[in-house]
Amino acid sequence: MFEMGSILPHAKDRRMRLILAIESSCDETAVAIMRGASGRAAEVLASEVYSQIELHREHGGVVPELASRNHSLRLRGLVEKALLDAGTAMGEIDAFAATTGPGLASSLLIGSTAAKGMACAMNRPFLGINHLEGHLLSPFLGRSSVPPHVALIVSGGHTLLMDVEGPGCYRRLGGTRDDAAGEAFDKVAKMLGLTYPGGPEIELAARTGNPHAYDFPRSMLHDAHLDFSFSGLKTAVLYTLQRMGGVESVHDLAASFQQAVIDILVGKTLRAARQTGRRIIGLSGGVSLNRALRGALQAACGKSGLELATASADLCTDNAAMIAFAALLRHLTGESSPLGEDIHPNSPLV
């Protein structure tokens, strides 16, 4: 696997390149085709996503065997449709990419094996991409470059603060010590009797609730470090429900819980910007779709004179366009991954 931080800021080769990327780290099967060149904004020619939410909803979460089986069933059709929508052929693709971690091992294998097979058949380079790097770069997909910034990645499996000098040059500032924010959303939603996935359900219920009805803890908010912890908040909701003997107001509980999460995320992110001196904050990941979070972070950035860069809605949840973008930036500098590279289910970004 290539070493993080080894990418040069600009590539000499400015020819347009086509990248076909596959994302299959969890329960979305996704294929994208992207066109780009050094110094120019990348263009998404095709982006196909097959969501398995309905398949896993009855189980209350993702079932790995079911996920990998459906990746196998859907992937070929998505590749064919992406090529058709992009108006291109397999032989015109300059490089093939796939998510190689982190994620479910059985799911990662489907996408990475397919991309390696196509790369081998077409005698083209293969690039194994870190799923978190795809999220981190996604707010800047429509730009000609990725500027220095502080990145907040917040999703079902990850809550991470990174200092970004440029593509490939990352420094970890902080991360969750237990539950990710999205995981806490799902678990609290289950406590409240809401359906899976819990994030959108919590947000919907919170819109008509009082965010100050319950004084839930803001764990580690005022600590000097930039790590997160959401397990205590989740437990506080559970104890509140036990004392009440049930749910009196789903809306107030949801709003109060959501506000606690937002206060922690916004507070830590603004502190990271102050500590690093960065003037831009990038927000990405599935939880970044939460409108209350976006609004709170936008307001905080406005007060501090910072720019907030957010990914478009279709780039927040798992998708292959963000993987294609990360792969394009690496491909333009001449990087590639060996075909013998294994998947990395538990790999960190740095």
Residues 199-232 have pLDDT tens digits of 999 999 999 999 999 999 999 999 999 999 999 9
Contacts of 113 by beta carbon, 8 Å cutoff, 6+ apart: none
203 or 245: whose pLDDT is higher? Answer: 203
Residue 3 has pLDDT above 80, yes or no: no
Token pair 């806490």 in the structure block, residue: 184
Residue 104 has pLDDT above 50, yes or no: yes
Mean pLDDT value of segment 47-66: 86
Q: How confident is the model at residue 11 (pLDDT cuts 50, 70, 90)?
A: very low
Per-residue model confidence (pLDDT) at position 288: 97
Q: How confident is the model at residue 8 (pLDDT cuts 50, 70, 90)?
A: very low
Residue 103 has pLDDT above 50, yes or no: yes
Per-residue model confidence (pLDDT) at position 53: 77
Mean pLDDT value of segment 140-152: 96
What are the residue ranges of helices labelled H in the chain? 53-57, 64-86, 105-122, 131-137, 181-191, 198-206, 231-244, 250-276, 291-304, 313-316, 321-331
SS3 61: coil
Q: Average model confidence (pLDDT) for the chain? A: 93
- The answer to whether 22 and 323 are in contact (CB under 8 A) is yes
- The answer to whether 197 and 53 are in contact (CB under 8 A) is yes
Long-range (24+ apart) CB contacts under 8 A made by 239-243 are: 240/214, 240/216, 241/191, 241/192
Mean pLDDT value of segment 81-104: 97
Token pair 């860069």 in the structure block, residue: 309
Per-residue model confidence (pLDDT) at position 218: 96
For the beta carbon of residue 140, count every other beta carbon within 10 angstroms: 24
Mean pLDDT value of segment 225-247: 91
Structural domains of the chain in order of their starting residue, each with its CATH number: 17-141+315-331 (3.30.420.40), 149-310 (3.30.420.40)
Mean pLDDT value of segment 293-314: 97
Q: How confident is the model at residue 310 (pLDDT cuts 50, 70, 90)?
A: very high
13 or 75: whose pLDDT is higher? Answer: 75
Per-residue model confidence (pLDDT) at position 247: 67
Per-residue model confidence (pLDDT) at position 234: 95
Please state the separation of Cα 2 from the chain's center in Å: 20
Run of H or E residues at 126? strand 126-130
- The residue length of the chain stands at 350
Residues 159-172 have pLDDT tens digits of 999 999 999 999 99
Per-residue model confidence (pLDDT) at position 9: 36
Distances (CA, A) of 56 to 108, 215, 315, 345: 18, 33, 21, 20
Per-residue model confidence (pLDDT) at position 5: 35
Per-residue model confidence (pLDDT) at position 6: 34
Contacts of 318 by beta carbon, 8 Å cutoff, 6+ apart: 23, 25, 26, 28, 30, 49, 131, 286
Mean pLDDT value of segment 46-64: 86
Residues 276-298 have pLDDT tens digits of 999 999 999 999 999 999 999 99
Per-residue model confidence (pLDDT) at position 4: 35
Q: How confident is the model at residue 346 (pLDDT cuts 50, 70, 90)?
A: very high
